[in-house]
């Protein structure tokens, strides 16, 4: 993995802030428009509306893949809600970061063209309580390729849930 990647950012960018700034709805809209693929990389993942949107995308034939932190295996961990996806047949991988490190990313790559990222965890609190930010890069294949490469490298080292 290259320590830093310079990418020209061309195309529209949407920025959201929470609490109650529309970030969750923006994510739901992007998932709803997905045609081919959605890659998810998330530490804490407990938003029922996002779960449902991903399950619906999978049901309409979108290839949905999720990579979560190893803490998701702990039954007491709030992010363990990612297990919901297993009930919908979504492949779930656990990023086995060595030692005490965590997989703290919050990223979705949709149709190899749209990237959702920022501090916004995929949780109800991120939308309603926390101060968070969300950036959506629309129609930017260079940025999507960069995030896809990192997702793919992390997934190659991950274990099945």
Q: State the Cα–Cα distance between residues 26 and 49, nearest whole angstrom.
A: 12
What's the domain range around 59?
22-160
User: Does residue 14 sit within a domain?
Assistant: no
Percent pLDDT > 70 in the chain is 83
Domain CATH code at residue 122: 3.30.870.10
Average pLDDT over residues 56-67: 93
Residue 108 token pair: 């979705």
Is residue 124 predicted with pLDDT exceeding 90? no
pTM equals 0.89
- Provide the domain count of the chain: 1
What was the pLDDT predicted at 150? Answer: 93
At 5-32, the pLDDT tens digits run: 666 666 889 999 999 999 999 999 999 9
Is residue 132 predicted with pLDDT exceeding 60? yes
User: Does residue 73 sit within a domain?
Assistant: yes
User: Considering only 3-12, 13-22, 49-58, 133-142, which range has the smallest mean pLDDT?
Assistant: 3-12
Q: State the Cα–Cα distance between residues 103 and 101, nearest whole angstrom.
A: 7
| Tokens 């969300």 -> residue | 134
- Strand-pairing partners, residue 95, are 69
User: Does residue 58 sit within a domain?
Assistant: yes
For residues 95, 14, 88, 155, the Cα torsion angle rounded to the nearest 10 degrees is -20
Average pLDDT, the chain: 85
Q: State the Cα–Cα distance between residues 22 and 19, nearest whole angstrom.
A: 8
Please calculate the CA angle 67-68-74 and round it to the nearest 5 degrees: 145
Asked if the bond preceding 19 is cis, omega within 30° of 0, the reply is yes
User: Does residue 42 sit within a domain?
Assistant: yes
User: Does residue 12 sit within a domain?
Assistant: no
User: Does residue 60 sit within a domain?
Assistant: yes
């Amino acid at each position: 993995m290259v320590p830093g990647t310079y990418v020209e950012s061309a195309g529209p960018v949407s920025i959201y802030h929470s609490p109650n700034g529309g970030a969750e709805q923006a994510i739901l809209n992007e998932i709803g428009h997905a045609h081919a693929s959605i890659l998810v990389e998330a530490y804490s993942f407990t938003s029922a509306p996002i779960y449902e949107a991903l399950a619906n995308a999978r049901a309409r034939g979108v290839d949905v893949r999720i990579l979560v932190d190893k803490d998701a295996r702990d039954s007491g961990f709030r992010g363990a809600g990612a297990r919901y996806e297993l009930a919908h047949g979504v492949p779930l991988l656990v990023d086995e970061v060595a030692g005490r490190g965590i997989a703290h990313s919050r990223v979705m790559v949709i149709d190899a063209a749209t990237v959702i990222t920022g501090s916004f965890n995929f949780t109800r609190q991120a939308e309603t309580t926390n101060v968070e930010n969300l950036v959506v890069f629309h129609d930017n294949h260079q940025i999507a390729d960069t995030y896809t490469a990192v997702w793919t490298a992390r997934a190659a080292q991950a274990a099945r849930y």
